[in-house]
Amino acid sequence: MRSLQNFQGKTVAKNLVQMDSKYKYLKGEITVLEWKMNFEILKLSSNSNV
């Protein structure tokens, strides 16, 4: 019984690590998208001022 709990604990830990890396990857993607959007907005606003 102990070995089963130990195995489940390791599986949960592995899943958490995978989720964490996926989350960090998604966060990075979102940051890039936000940066691109801000850049486009800056371009548009600077064009309209001319």
Asked if residue 25 is part of any domain, the answer here is yes
Q: Would you state the pLDDT for residue 22?
A: 92
pLDDT tens for each residue of 1-50: 678 788 888 898 899 899 999 999 999 999 999 999 999 999 999 887 65
Q: Would you state the pLDDT for residue 2?
A: 74
Asked if residue 11 is part of any domain, the answer here is no
Domain of 30, in residue numbers: 21-50
- Please compute, for residue 26, the number of CA atoms within 13 A of its CA located in the half-sphere on the CB side: 6
Asked if residue 40 is part of any domain, the answer here is yes
Q: Would you state the pLDDT for residue 27?
A: 94
CA distance 27 to 21: 10
Asked if residue 28 is part of any domain, the answer here is yes
* Residue 8, SS3 per DSSP: helix
Our count of domains for the chain comes to 1
CA distance 11 to 19: 12
Q: Would you state the pLDDT for residue 49?
A: 66
Cα of 35 vs its chain's centroid, Å = 14
Asked if residue 8 is part of any domain, the answer here is no
Q: Would you state the pLDDT for residue 5?
A: 81
Q: Would you state the pLDDT for residue 1?
A: 62
